[in-house]
Amino acid sequence: MKFLKRLFKIIFRTGLAISALIILLFLSFWIELKIPTTIPTPSGKYHIGRVSLHLTDTARLDSLSPEPFSNRELLVWIWYPSKKSKTAKLVDYISKDWSDAINDKRGFVLNNFFAREATKIQSHSFEDSEISQEKLNFPVLLMKSGIGSMASDYTAIAEEMASYGYIVVGSDSPYSTWLLRFPNGRIITRNSEGNPGETATISGESNRKLSRLVQLWSDDTQFILNQLEILNANSSSQFYEKLNLNAVGIFGHSFGGATAAQFCLNDVRCKAGVDMDGAPFGTVVEKGMNKPFMFLLADHINESDSISIQIKSNIAKIFHSNIENQYWIYLKGSGHFNFSDFPFQKEVFVSRLSGGIGPIGGKYGIKIITSCLLSFFDEYVKGEPSIKIQDLNKQFAEIIFAK
């Protein structure tokens, strides 16, 4: 009997200790996420402006919309080199109304213990500030987010590129992006056709569905570039003759990286592209790439499961189709979501534990990623080579070139 009493006390005290530890752990998560944070400060010489546009393609119906005969609508974000201004206001990371809609969708547990509210994230862009007059015009980089992410989830990368003299044009994808809020207050969330789950399988019907979707996203990107041409020719636009549309590149993350490859194949206006940790889909896998292209991947170098082998095989097909000006880089210590603002949005311990981000660190990871992007696009889009891509691993030991 005494033994059972002792055992009960041990179990009870152990349970109390574990419960206390869990409470303290969740309390630390809560405290961490209630503290405001700032994404990395851009290192280039330009200040940054940001505007957003709501575009409707009247020539296309939206095949993903549950509403029949709906035209395809897109939300577009533009980060650009701007003049320094004493009166311009820093723009919100995203609007409070949009942030509130996300909070409502996520619910109590995610909001309080795993994700930082967008209003507590500070960026470095100014609202509707005047575009810089230091240069006649600026090269354009199109940016595509991952399949569930918003364009604003890549603010750190977009601001860094803009600070070095690029106009960065990101876009959200209705029915693929997790949650969109249009200017009139309309909310659109993802559905199974627009967001079938990128890594569920890369063969069979899922592969065919994703290949159709990557073509839709490529068509979206072509439409946006067409609209930029109109904007550039409009004398009442703040971007009048400021977009160098003879110097256009594209980069994207995850499914957005797959879109970058497909778009670069489809559109002659694309000079070069970068896929940031995305499995390729679409006709580009078989047709290959005829332009400068870079695969900038997370730390998958030693992964050998069947899906990873197939993804690497598809990348190799594209990479070896035109070995000149093609790059295949792994970033040691990085996870899939290091290529975004995820390290500043989510609770770090859980993000590390789940494998979403790696030990490389949020700010340092962004520094390496943007250094790779700048080196690549400076050479192949801007035509002003800075540090050679091949020499980047002398500066960053985390960069590993695939053999």
pLDDT at 17: 66
Within-domain flag for 215: yes
Judge contact between 352 and 297, C-beta under 8 A.
Answer: no
How far from chain centre, in Å, is Cα 243? Answer: 22
**Between helices 155-163 and 362-377, what is the axis angle to 10°?**
50
Within-domain flag for 19: no
Count of structural domains, the chain: 1
Within-domain flag for 373: yes
DSSP for residue 131: B
pTM for this one? 0.91
Rg (CA), the chain: 22
CATH assignment of the domain containing 211: 3.40.50.1820
Within-domain flag for 24: no
Q: Which two tokens stand for residue 210?
A: 């994703």
78/239 Cα distance (integer angstroms): 10
Beta strand residue intervals within 162-304, DSSP E: 167-172, 179-181, 187-189, 243-253, 270-276, 293-297
Could you read off the pLDDT of 249-261 as tens digits, one per residue?
Answer: 999 999 999 999 9
Question: With left for phi above 0 and alpha for psi between -120 and 50, is residue 197 left, alpha or beta?
Answer: left
In sequence order, which ranges of 35-116 are alpha helices (DSSP H)?
Answer: 96-106, 108-113
Q: What angle do CA 235, 241, 246 make, to 5 degrees?
A: 145
pLDDT at 3: 60
Within-domain flag for 329: yes
What lies within 8 Å, CB to CB, of 317 at 6+ separation is 285, 286, 288
pLDDT at 7: 58
Judge contact between 270 and 248, C-beta under 8 A.
Answer: yes
Within-domain flag for 128: yes
Could you tell me the residue range of the domain that residue 224 belongs to? 36-401
CB atoms within 10 A of CB 348: 17
382/374 Cα distance (integer angstroms): 10
What lies within 8 Å, CB to CB, of 244 at 6+ separation is 137, 138, 139, 140
Q: Which residues of the chain have pLDDT under 50?
A: 30, 198-199
Within-domain flag for 3: no
pLDDT at 199: 47
pLDDT at 31: 57
Within-domain flag for 18: no
Judge contact between 236 and 213, C-beta under 8 A.
Answer: no
Considering Cα of 370, then 254, then 333, then 316, what sign does the dihedral take?
negative
Q: What angle do CA 84, 88, 92 make, to 5 degrees?
A: 115
pLDDT at 229: 98
Pairing of strands 167-172, 138-144: parallel
